[in-house]
Structure formats: C-alpha cells, structure tokens
Amino acid sequence: MYNPHAEILERFERVETLINHLISAGSSANTTPVNAQPPATRQLAADHLGVSLPTLDKLINSRQLKAFNIGRQVRIKWDEIQEYVNKKGAANK
C-alpha cells in the first residue's frame, strides 16, 4: 500500500543528508576567510595611519585612499589602508 508520508519522510532525509554533506565539506562560493575583518571606520583608519580625521578626509577626497559609503557612513577596506602605507613607504625611500 502506498504511503505518501513515508515518501515525504524519505525525501526529507535525503535533503537533510545533502545539506549536512555541503555544510561539512564547505562551499567555496560562500566561505569567508577566518581572518577577514570588517572595513575600518574613519576613526579607526585615522588612528591606524596616525593622522587626523580632516587629513584622512583629504586623502579620501584626493583619491589617495579608496573609501566607500554604507549609507552616510564612510568605510575603508584594510587592504586599501595597507596599500596606502606601502605606497607611502615606497615614496619615502
């Protein structure tokens, strides 16, 4: 005799097994590096670079330092900050 509930339960178990397999294997498209940091605020970037907020704003406005907005808030990627430091160090040599 056909039991629709048993068929649904069997399908659910197969989907659950597949999901568990994907979670344990990790999906390369959706994984975030463990050491990933959220972008820096203006204050964090200024403190890291040892400059004032107005100086940081001048660096951003002159496009020496790349930044982006989240709503009205300005954020700077740590990679961009490090790239600026490396360029500045190379220019001083």
Q: Which residue has the higher pLDDT, 43 or 88?
A: 43
pLDDT of the residue at 11 = 84
Residue of higher predicted confidence among 23 and 47: 47
Phi, psi of 72 (to 5 degrees): -95, -5
CB 76, CB 67: distance < 8 Å:
yes
Cβ-Cβ contacts under 8 Å for 65 (sequence gap 6 or more) = 45, 56, 59, 76, 80, 81, 84
Query: Residue 4: which pLDDT band, with cuts at 50, 70 and 90?
Result: confident
Higher per-residue confidence, 82 vs 36 = 82
Segment 17-45, tens digit of pLDDT: 888 877 877 655 555 555 578 999 999 99
